[in-house]
Amino acid sequence: MLVSATEMLKKAVEGHYAVGQFNINNLEWTKAILLTAQENNSPVILGVSEGAGKYMTGYKTVSAMVNAMIEELNITVPVALHLDHGSYAGCYKCVKAGFSSIMFDGSHFPIEENIEKTTELVHVAHNLGLSIEAEVGSIGGEEDGVVGAGEIADPEECKKIADLGVDFLAAGIGNIHGKYPENWKGLDFDALAKIKELVGDLPLVLHGGTGIPEDMIKKAISLGVAKINVNTECQLYFQEATRKYIEEGKDLQGKGFDPRKLLAPGFEGIKTIVKEKMELFGSVNKA
């Protein structure tokens, strides 16, 4: 059964670890992440961007697939199904489709409008037992058409949004979606510490988890980050393993063209990186 992400992230803050949000794109992605979470006895958040939701034919399909998979794979660890960088309309669609968690990304609106819309969606989500994430500042780079300038969040604005009753908060601290450029300055820990000071035990979310060095991940967790989003890295592992399979000519041998064989190395690639991240984030055996 799906659960909201509130409880698992509260526990993560108390236990000084983070729960991974891994974005899904299709059946293979979902199955790989759910099985890895179960094998490692780790809570997990399945992230769905609006683009990926559309690709999978809509949020109802996603919700039905995830619910059925949890049952048929006998997944017993806590799993949240979460809309990633949701628009106002997207949030309502996911609430209706049976998601257990939503993110309203109002970071591109003036702060007053972000507050107004977040307030409304907090009520909607909580009335139905869903968790809700909000965003202040913006995550740099691009993810499925969501482009951010990468500004550092203003701690006072974080406090204002936190006070609306959101369950966890994404604050831009120099993090970027996709691969980090060579000249990346790193995470702004001073900003993170100031935000933490003002929002207390509210779980903080680190987007752009791909390619952040391990020591920075650990420091971020020590400063209150309890949810870390990873998307691109799963795609890169899938791509690399698939490329190897084809370059070695395995698709040309016997029934190597069977999609279940062709996609198997990429599937294993996702499992490998998800396990590595769960170990790094400290969520293994925390289900």
Q: Which residues, including other chains, have CB under 8 Å from residue 46's CB and lie 6 or more apart?
A: 21, 22, 23, 24, 30, 33, 34, 66, 79, 80, 81, 82
Q: Measured between alpha carbons, how far is residue 87 from residues 107, 149, 156, 157, 212 in Å?
A: 10, 17, 23, 20, 26
Report, in Å, the least distance between residue 184 CB and ligand 13P.
12
Structure tokens at 39: 């094998």
Total number of residues binding ligand 13P (CB under 6 A)? 16
Site for ligand 13P in 169-188 (CB under 6 A): 177-178
Residue with tokens 């370059």: 247
Q: Does the annotation count 105 as an active-site position?
A: no
Angle at 235 between CA 141 and CA 224, to 5 degrees: 60
Torsion angle (degrees, nearest 10) of CA 140, 143, 147, 153: -40
Q: Which of 38, 81, 84, 101 binds ligand 13P (CB under 6 A)?
A: 84
For ligand 13P, give the closer residue by CB, 4 or 23.
23
Site map for ligand 13P, 30-59, x if CB under 6 A? -----------------x------------
Q: Which of 6, 23, 25, 101 binds ligand 13P (CB under 6 A)?
A: 23
Check residue 229 for interaction with ligand 13P (CB under 6 A): yes
Structure tokens at 31: 């199955």
Report, in Å, the least distance between residue 207 CB and ligand 13P.
3
Report, in Å, the least distance between residue 251 CB and ligand 13P.
27
Residues lying near ligand 13P in the complex (CB under 6 A) = 23, 47, 84-85, 143, 177-178, 207-210, 229-233
